[in-house]
Amino acid sequence: MDLDPRPERRRTRDGEGPRWDAVREAALERDDRTCQRCGYRRRQRPGDPERDLEVHDTAGFSGQASLADLDRLVTVCRPCHATLHPDDPAYRDLAEGAPLFPRPDAPPAVATMRTERQHVCQRCQRMVDSATDLAAYVPIDGGTYVLCEPCAGALLAAGYDPADFEVAGELDVAALESRAPDAPVRPALFATGPVRALRPPETGLERLLFDTPLRYVVNPFGLTALFILVGVFLSFWLF
Ligand SMILES: [Zn+2]
Ligand SMILES: [Zn+2]
Ligand SMILES: [Zn+2]
């Protein structure tokens, strides 16, 4: 175990030694020297050293890979690799240079958002495993708000501008809008400001709950207020 406090001595490679060099080279060769998360391909001329290619071991700390384990290795550029090692201080803030979304055809082990935090929908607070099931609302005036597909559809249905949305690969507005009924009508209590919009109510029950004065009651604040009012009323009436 490496307890060296100096960041430059921390683990920045997923293996070392001559055997690792051979395995690493085989993985790079198989992946056509292309980052499997973002598609960056090493140029012939020595390019930006910060964006060099590395080989990630998806099995983590389970022992150094041999040639027989080639299928658990994946080629990634340095910024994308940094997103896979969020606790390694050797990468510092390099992950910020990686794209928010992976390529749509990235292998599952690297089909992740830039940070783990971004796997939680900022409207309904649901956790989503695959980045290909997420969208982001990126308004012109700044900010990045990650959303599950249903919530992204809900915002599009509520009139948000499709030009402000991003997904892994091509944006399909109609497909996202068709997911909207799976989103809650009301955002979660702690949803982020710009993505707090209500989904337009669809069913008769939703319209009853959200298009009539009942909407002042059917929410955490309304229910608390109602509870207190009933309590006060009962205490007067009973005693
Ligand atoms: Zn990359
Ligand atoms: Zn790695
Ligand atoms: Zn959501």
Cβ distance 128 to 119 under 8 Å?
A: yes
Q: What is the pLDDT of residues 192-233, one digit of tens each?
A: 889 999 898 888 888 888 877 877 777 778 888 888 999 998
Task: Give the residue with greater pLDDT, 47 vs 80.
Answer: 80
In 3D space, the residue among 17, 24, 18 whose CA is nearest the CA of residue 53 turns out to be: 24
42-46, 161-165, 185-189, 225-229: range with lowest mean pLDDT? 42-46
Torsion over CA of 157, 162, 165 and 168, rounded to 10 degrees?
Answer: 100
Please report which ligand is nearest the Cα atom of 85. Answer: 2
Cβ distance 100 to 166 under 8 Å?
A: yes
Residues within 5 Å of ion ligand 2, judged at the Cβ atom: 14, 56
Q: What is the pLDDT of residues 88-146, one digit of tens each?
A: 888 888 999 999 999 999 999 999 999 999 999 999 999 999 899 999 999 998 899 99
> Six-digit token pair at 207?
């319209």
In 3D space, the residue among 97, 187, 182, 181 whose CA is nearest the CA of residue 137 turns out to be: 187
* Domain extents in the chain: 7-111, 117-200, 203-239
User: Where does residue 128 rank: exposed (0-12), middle (13-18), buried (19+ CB within 10 A)?
Assistant: middle
Query: What distance in angstroms lies between residue 187's CA and the mean position of ligand 2's atoms?
Result: 36
77 three-class SS: strand
50-59, 129-138, 187-196: range with lowest mean pLDDT? 50-59
pLDDT band (50, 70, 90) for residue 13? confident
In 3D space, the residue among 119, 129, 20 whose CA is nearest the CA of residue 73 turns out to be: 20
How far is 197 from 151, CA to CA, in rounded Å?
A: 10
Query: What distance in angstroms lies between residue 194's CA and the mean position of ligand 2's atoms?
Result: 35
Task: Give the residue with greater pLDDT, 217 vs 21.
Answer: 21
What letter represents residue 48's amino acid? D
